[in-house]
Amino acid sequence: MADGSLLLLGIAGPELTPEEAARFRSLQPAGYILFSRNIVSPGQTRRLTDDLRGLSVDTPILAIDQEGGRVTRTKEIAPAAPSAPALAALGDPVRIAKAGALTGDLLGLLGFNLNFAPVLDLDHFPDRQNALRGRCWGRDPQRVIDHAGQWNRWMRKSRIASCAKHFPACGRALSDPHHDLPSSPATLEELLREDILPYTALMPELDAVMLAHVEFPHIDPELPASLSPRVIRRFLRDQLGFDRHLVLTDDLDMGAIGSRYGRGQDVKLAISAGNDLALICHRTETAGIAAQAIAELPHPVVADARERVERFRNTRLHHPPAWSDGRWAATCEALARLAEEVPAEDAGPPASSPVADY
């Protein structure tokens, strides 16, 4: 019997189709992720998240990528919060806290309970088209800890769970994983000296961790980090102690994975490696194949992941506040004022990654 309990799925448009509703009702995925294509107005978005909640037997994860700056899925209906580089350049902890809190307030009103942020990648190659331009808090681990930690702390105070990304170090990618699989020559020792520090320092204040679609041949010569038992089970969980956090893949439909692994094999590898959830953001018509693949995994592997998903659901997710036109207007006004107070960063050449367009 197919098992959708370890899937996080995207949705085609701003309203559920009858086919999607039937699929989701049958598969009962752990949750959903919304993109710009799903967001037309505040009321429509809240109705959509409420509808998704209504399809689910258990409280579903309702996730979004809302980093600020160019990765803002609500930019058509609300002002965008300043980007991580702009906030880091200003270096004002009060404004960073305000950006985190207002991000949480906005998402809560729309019905979300998990934000795929903050980005903890160190900006090793700021001039490369590796999907991270305009998204990182800096190159220095301590600055990332200070600034991303402040933003994360205040977003969580607004009752939105956080997900740090992209473990262990997407910032070392020289190309864009949306298109192909980047490779990094970094060793485990090099990552421990720099890239891992924000994760370990902020561990008590993180709710989830997202894996990077990047290969590290000196750590695992066979599999990318997002599908690697050496990276996930041995390093992230056993060595670093992230065994009580929710751990999930980045989108398995990205070129880095989709061009190398078929649907079904990718999900089996992901869950076997130690991920609790597999993300399928665009080709959701293949969710049945993915669910069947999960059902074929050994029972202890699936049971461990389900236990962590259930614990996350029961301890980290909050019910959204009642909708309020007044609170929505006040939050949007506060975001607009904050954006005026924070100078935009010098972005350099335009970023070419599709991540900002989803």
**C-alpha angle with apex 75: 70 to 81, nearest 5 degrees?**
65
Q: Identify whether 92 is a catalytic site residue.
A: no
Query: Could you confirm whether 51 is annotated as catalytic?
Result: no
Could you tell me if 132 and 79 are in contact, meaning their C-beta atoms sit under 8 angstroms apart?
Answer: no
Q: Vertex 289, ends 286 and 291: CA angle to 5°?
A: 110
What is the number of other CB atoms lying within 10 angstroms of the CB of residue 233? Answer: 17
Burial of 141 (0-12, 13-18, 19+ CB in 10 A): buried
CA 215 – CA 48 distance, rounded (Å): 36
Please write down the HEC assignment for all residues of 184-208.
CCCCHHHHHHCCCHHHHHHHHHCCE
**Identity of the amino acid at 206:** L
For 156-245, strand residue ranges (E) read 161-167, 208-211
How many other C-beta atoms lie within 10 A of the C-beta of residue 172?
23
| Interhelix angle 93-110/141-157, nearest 10 degrees | 40
Of 168, 165, 112, 121, the residue nearest 316 (C-alpha): 112
117 alpha-carbon distance from chain centroid: 6
Token code pair at residue 106 = 């906005």
Q: What's 270's DSSP letter?
A: H
Catalytic residue among 124, 147, 178, 245: 178
Distance CA 27, CA 45 (A): 22
Q: Which residue among the candidates 176, 195, 250, 253 is catalytic per the annotation? A: 250
**Per residue, what are the HEC states of 83-126?**
CHHHHHHHCCHHHHHHHHHHHHHHHHHHCCCEECCCECCCCCCC
Catalytic residues: 178, 250
